[in-house]
């Protein structure tokens, strides 16, 4: 095709004139995000409505459909370029008010702007919003800012200037040297140095070379390539052209997923426009360099993300990987030297050439340079695309940019790198996101998929999910991958079904290592990663599934009758007693509760009720107030009823000793009594109850409530002797001689002292000591200005107690990310008026 | 190629003979092109919705390749189908984010609503059901696609409402949010 002369840019000098000068007058614009997420939320209707309103009012304003702006959770989103106001959750009906108030009235529309992390202050300006302000956009610099369907817009934004610089100032080896200095590593997988790959290809003697782009973004959870393809296709074209010049290629292909029809459409349009403008094709910008680019669509095979499989697919064959060497750099497409890089890798290239390699190398860490785009998804508030310098801590990404976990649930793990990667548990929230650090944890950067999980995720089930995916996507060529992942899947399925065996864990590890070593391509070599990673960081969960047939997340159907029951440490039949309460059968409900836990009244007041966090009702509106129902239930018991006791003369004749009269010891006595035994409990303190009387203040747990339940247990045949201390009044040896069995339930009475300078000085106490003195003696010295470190229940009890004892000011210090654990989240029913919250301040 | 859609909107029946008669015009340009087999198959499937055996035999003769090689390519890639597809292809995303946010429940509800399993088509040829691994809308999980329409934050109990809009008439609105 002969390009029309009037559009063709003839020289580098002409190209430079296409850039919009800084401060140059431009028509005001409304940029509407038309990325995949916002389109799904209806942004195309917003665009239509805005254009209609602009037409009605005859306004001189451009309404542009852009690529992804990144904040998918708040879509549809728009950006007003006159003052960089960012509006969220825009509805087509808002078009009228946007035009009349913002465009014509120059007023900000308050209800559409972002709020700060606390939801209090309006943050209208894009650059002030944490989600955007804390990012560094290199790859995504034009996404959401330029019209992806207009090459003129791209040229005005400076796209193709790096290509012009390349052709006029640099030799091919100079380009490779710049890429080397920049430290750019491939962004699609393991991070191989880009310059090295280019250099190998260039050095291989050949009459033809190929430049390929891997846009087969198969990782579930990754969509940054889509964002570039749809939002800034010209940067990709420019990056590939520069690379082709560097290695001496005249033909390129972009292999795009079939699932991305819009990306294919926009990229093709961009290629056509680039050809018309002389930026692709013969004699680019009037130089000797020629480069043609074509699209090849993928057809739905994950393995084609592997380079030799992708090449086979372009050649029209089954996408089966082949052994290397020879590497594609020597023998690739049609047997010629070939470079294959990821979309994101190419999108970095123009910035490196344009701004200088040193500029790029200034981002990141010593070994991992530049920025990385992450697709932040899962149980995080601000889902979307995030670009940060390599080495940014994971926690910063999740909490500062991502806004924390949905519903303030605890962070459990993040899966990085999709089915080829691994999980990072919360102990490693500080891990810098670079290739080396993640590798040490058994994870990979991969393409940048980042799935955040809260405690509703079962790590065994997640591992099974990934193995199932890999099993289905295996090309079937080699046995370790095809058969090995099948065996792993069978084992994991057994474990999730409650049929696991304890040796399964070691068998999975052995299988995983074998598959890693024996597989031909990257798919098989990385397939075991999610399993090995979850075993490494969450082995206890595997053990629970196998040994206890218990899924604490409430996910595995065979192991979970109801998620709330699964979450209860005592395994109380919550659906059962709630149904009975609903039928007004209160005594039966209480009996059902006591089958698993004798302290129904106590727990109705002080239990931290993890069951409510798992309640299925919260997917409709809110969790059922399970603890509240329990309290109502116990209050219906006017006359203490005794649980069923199986009278057994033989058991009654046995002598059982229990050391410790706390919850464990008393519960043990309770269950033994129900079987007909008559155990004796030895308690050191004047009153039984352990932590229930020593640590929990009476205003939270009235003493009569506890005493009543202990009396019930005594009436079942249990003897409790107080003032009897182990080591002083008896020894274990003596008990063994006198009794048939001895249960030791001394609990964990000591607090943990903070390892801080000065923590052993006068005036510094741990909460347990403080609360015990108060609860046993009724009084303890307290200063006027008290600081409590930590946000748990003991901390809040200590704070409230200090105020009751006359402290003028009490401050709680706790970690921001742990807010959910703070006792502050719950007002205890029955707490006296004028209680603590008004007097407690908190600092993050 | 940019004009092609990935899902067939053709609702009328086309016989194998009619398909074969159109092949020269449809994919003739790919025969001499290196690696042209897969684009050709994509084009034919876009046009007719599926790839019957007789058409594949003809294609293998046109490309001068053994039928087994062409069939091997068709069998390898999940995009290709040798059985007729429905007017609408429903694809439930089971990418990681959608899975973690309840994609399994969405898929179960969809199977139940349509009365078919994955890979099957309803008797009235209206819907086909597939599983996808990621549609790039992870921020709005769980997600389903009906042809090229993306439905976000899908609630399993609302599946019927989503499908009803397609069953009754041409959808009035694209990208319906539930």
Q: What is the pLDDT of residue A820?
A: 44
pLDDT tens profile B91-144? 898 887 788 788 888 999 999 999 998 888 888 888 999 888 777 777 777 889
The annotation places the binding site of B at 93, 98, 134, 138
Q: What is the rounded distance in angstroms from the CA atom of residue A266 to the CA atom of residue A235?
A: 13
pLDDT category of residue B170 using cuts at 50, 70 and 90: low
* A245-254 average pLDDT score: 93
Q: What is the pLDDT of residue A11?
A: 81
Q: What is the rounded distance in angstroms from the CA atom of residue A529 to the CA atom of residue A417?
A: 10
pLDDT category of residue B1 using cuts at 50, 70 and 90: very low
Q: What is the rounded distance in angstroms from the CA atom of residue A520 to the CA atom of residue A444?
A: 19
Q: Shortest Cα distance from B130 to chain A (angstroms)?
A: 12
pLDDT at A365 > cutoff 60: yes
Q: What is the DSSP string of A108-121?
A: --GGGBEE-TTS-S
pLDDT category of residue A270 using cuts at 50, 70 and 90: very high
pLDDT tens profile A708-749? 999 999 999 999 999 999 889 999 999 999 999 999 998 887
Q: What is the DSSP-derived secondary structure letter of residue A648? A: -
Residue B97: list chain A partners with CB under 8 A: 220-221, 377-378, 383, 451
Token pair listed for A470: 């890999």
Q: What is the pLDDT of residue A20?
A: 77
H helical segments located in A170-289: 172-182, 194-203, 224-231, 233-247, 261-276
Q: What is the pLDDT of residue A839?
A: 32
Q: What is the pLDDT of residue A828?
A: 37
* A522-531 average pLDDT score: 91
Contact yes or no for A73 and B38 at CB 8 A: no
Contact yes or no for A378 and B101 at CB 8 A: yes
Q: What is the pLDDT of residue B13?
A: 67
Q: Between residues A116 and A424, which one has the greater pLDDT?
A: A424
Q: Tell me how crowded residue A21 is: count the other CB atoms within 10 A of its CB.
A: 9
Token pair listed for A321: 């990987």
Q: Shortest Cα distance from B97 to chain A (angstroms)?
A: 5
Q: Which residues contact A107 (CB under 8 A, 6 or more apart)?
A: A101
pLDDT at B27 > cutoff 90: no
Q: How far is CA A620 from the centre of its chain?
A: 23
**CA-nearest residue of chain B to A379?**
B101
Q: How far is CA A83 from the centre of its chain?
A: 33
Of B25, B144, A272, A590, nearest to A280 (Cα)?
A: A272
Q: Is A63 strand, coil or helix? A: strand
Q: Shortest Cα distance from A302 to chain B (angstroms)?
A: 9
Contact yes or no for B136 and A73 at CB 8 A: no
Whether domain B88-168 has CATH 3.40.30.10: yes
Name the residue facing A451 among B100, B136, B137 (closest C-beta).
B100
* A698-707 average pLDDT score: 91
Q: Scanning the structure block, which residue is given the tokens 């016989």?
A: B15
Q: What is the rounded distance in angstroms from the CA atom of residue A139 to the CA atom of residue A375?
A: 13
Q: What is the pLDDT of residue A143?
A: 87
Q: What is the ipTM of this complex?
A: 0.82
* A612-617 average pLDDT score: 86
Name the residue facing A261 among B5, B80, B97 (closest C-beta).
B5
Q: Is A46 exposed, middle or buried (0-12, 13-18, 19+ CB in 10 A)?
A: buried
Residue A323 near residue A182 (C-beta atoms within 8 A)? no
Contact yes or no for B133 and A462 at CB 8 A: no
What are the DSSP E strand ranges found in A680-759?
680-683, 719-722, 741-744
Q: Between residues A829 and B137, which one has the greater pLDDT?
A: B137
Q: What is the rounded distance in angstroms from the CA atom of residue B130 to the CA atom of residue B50?
A: 14
Q: What is the rounded distance in angstroms from the CA atom of residue A805 to the CA atom of residue A189?
A: 60
């Amino acid at each position: 095709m002969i390009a029309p002369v009037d559009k063709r840019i003839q020289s580098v000098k002409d190209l430079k004139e296409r850039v919009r000068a800084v401060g140059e007058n431009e028509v005001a614009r409304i940029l509407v995000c038309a990325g995949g997420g916002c389109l799904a939320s209806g942004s195309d209707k917003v665009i239509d409505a805005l254009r209609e309103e602009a037409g009605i009012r005859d306004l001189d304003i451009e309404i542009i459909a852009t690529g992804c702006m990144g904040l998918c959770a708040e879509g549809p989103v728009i950006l007003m370029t006159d003052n960089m106001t960012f509006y969220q959750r825009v509805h087509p009906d808002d078009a009228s008010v946007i035009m009349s108030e913002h465009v014509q009235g120059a007023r900000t529309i308050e209800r559409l702007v972002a709020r700060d992390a606390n939801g209090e202050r309006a943050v209208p300006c894009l650059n002030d919003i944490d989600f955007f302000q804390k990012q560094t956009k290199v790859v995504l610099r034009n996404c959401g800012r330029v019209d992806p369907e207009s090459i003129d817009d791209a040229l005005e934004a400076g796209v193709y200037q790096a290509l012009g610089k390349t052709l006029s100032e640099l030799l091919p080896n100079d380009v490779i040297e710049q890429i080397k200095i920049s430290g750019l590593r491939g962004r699609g997988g393991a991070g191989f140095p880009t310059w090295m790959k280019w250099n190998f290809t260039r050095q291989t003697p050949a009459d033809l070379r190929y430049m390929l782009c891997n846009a087969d973004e198969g990782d579930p959870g990754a969509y940054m390539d889509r964002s570039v393809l749809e939002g800034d296709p010209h940067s990709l074209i420019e990056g590939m052209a520069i690379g082709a010049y560097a290695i001496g290629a005249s033909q390129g292909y972009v292999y795009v997923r079939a699932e991305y029809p819009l990306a294919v459409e926009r990229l093709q349009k961009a290629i056509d426009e680039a050809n018309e403008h002389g930026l692709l094709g013969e004699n680019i910008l009037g130089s000797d360099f020629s480069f043609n680019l074509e699209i090849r669509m993928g057809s739905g095979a994950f393995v084609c993300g592997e380079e030799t499989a992708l090449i086979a697919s372009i050649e029209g064959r089954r996408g089966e990987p082949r052994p290397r060497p020879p590497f594609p750099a020597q023998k690739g497409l049609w047997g010629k030297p070939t470079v294959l890089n990821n979309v994101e890798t190419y999108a970095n290239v123009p910035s490196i050439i344009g701004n200088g390699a040193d500029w790029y190398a200034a981002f990141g860490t010593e070994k991992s340079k530049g920025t990385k785009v992450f697709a932040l998804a899962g149980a995080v508030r601000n889902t979307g695309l995030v670009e940060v310098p390599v080495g940014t801590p994971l926690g910063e990404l999740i909490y500062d940019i991502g806004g924390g976990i949905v519903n303030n649930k605890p962070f459990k793990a993040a899966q990085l790198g999709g089915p080829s990667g691994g999980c990072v548990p919360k102990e490693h929230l500080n891990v810098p996101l670079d290739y080396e650090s993640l590798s040490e944890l058994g994870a990979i950067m991969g393409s940048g998929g980042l799935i955040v999980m809260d405690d509703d995720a079962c790590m065994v089930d997640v591992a099974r999910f990934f193995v199932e995916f890999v099993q289905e996507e295996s090309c079937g060529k080699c046995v370790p991958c095809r058969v090995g992942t099948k065996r792993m899947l069978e084992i994991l399925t057994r474990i999730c079904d409650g049929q696991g065996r304890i040796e399964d864990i070691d068998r999975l590890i052995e299988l995983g290592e074998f598959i890693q070593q024996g597989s031909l391509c990257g798919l098989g070599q990385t397939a075991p990663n999610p399993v090995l990673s979850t075993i490494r960081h969450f082995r206890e969960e595997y053990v629970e599934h196998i040994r206890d047939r218990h899924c604490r997340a409430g996910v595995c159907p065979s192991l979970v009758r109801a998620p709330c029951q699964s979450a209860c440490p005592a395994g109380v039949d919550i659906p059962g007693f709630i149904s009975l309460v609903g039928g007004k059968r209160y005594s039966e409900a209480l009996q059902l509760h006591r089958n698993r836990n004798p302290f129904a009244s106590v727990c109705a007041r002080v239990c931290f009720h993890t069951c409510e966090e798992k309640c299925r009702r919260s997917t409709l509106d809110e969790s059922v107030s399970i603890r509240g129902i329990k309290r109502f239930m116990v209050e219906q018991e006017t006359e203490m009823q005794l649980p069923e006791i199986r009278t057994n003369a033989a058991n009654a004749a046995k002598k059982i000793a229990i050391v410790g009269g706390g919850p464990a010891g008393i519960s043990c006595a309770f269950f033994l009594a129900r079987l007909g035994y008559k155990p004796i409990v030895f308690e050191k303190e004047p009153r039984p109850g352990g932590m229930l009387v020593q640590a929990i203040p009476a205003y939270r747990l009235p003493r009569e409530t506890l005493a009543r339940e202990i009396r019930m247990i005594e009436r079942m045949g249990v003897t409790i002797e107080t003032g009897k201390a182990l080591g002083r009044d008896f020894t274990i040896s003596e008990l063994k001689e006198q009794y048939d069995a001895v249960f030791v339930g001394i609990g964990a009475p000591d607090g943990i002292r903070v390892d801080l300078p000065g923590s052993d000085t006068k005036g510094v106490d741990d909460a347990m000591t403080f609360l015990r003195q108060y609860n046993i003696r009724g009084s303890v010295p307290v200063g006027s200005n008290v600081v409590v470190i930590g946000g748990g229940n003991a901390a809040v009890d200590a704070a409230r107690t200090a105020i009751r004892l006359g402290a003028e000011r009490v401050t709680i210090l706790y970690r921001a990310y742990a807010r959910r654990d703070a006792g502050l989240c719950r007002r205890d029913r029955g707490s006296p008026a004028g209680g603590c919250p008004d007097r407690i301040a908190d600092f993050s | 190629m940019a004009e092609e859609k990935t899902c067939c909107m053709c609702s009328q029946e086309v016989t194998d003979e009619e398909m074969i008669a159109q092949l020269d015009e449809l994919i003739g340009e790919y025969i001499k092109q290196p690696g042209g087999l897969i684009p050709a198959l994509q084009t034919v499937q876009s046009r007719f919705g599926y790839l019957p055996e007789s058409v594949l035999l003809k294609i293998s003769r046109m490309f001068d390749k053994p039928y087994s090689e062409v069939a091997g390519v068709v069998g390898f890639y999940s995009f290709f189908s040798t059985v007729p597809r429905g007017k609408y292809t429903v694809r439930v995303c089971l990418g990681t984010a959608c899975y973690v946010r309840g994609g399994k429940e969405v898929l179960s509800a969809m199977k139940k609503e349509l009365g078919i399993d994955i890979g099957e088509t309803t008797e009235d040829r209206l819907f086909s059901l597939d599983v996808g691994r990621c549609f790039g809308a992870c921020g709005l999980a769980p997600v389903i696609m009906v042809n090229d329409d993306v439905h976000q934050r899908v609630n399993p109990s609302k599946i019927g409402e989503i499908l009803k809009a397609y069953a009754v008439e041409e959808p009035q609105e694209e990208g319906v949010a539930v």
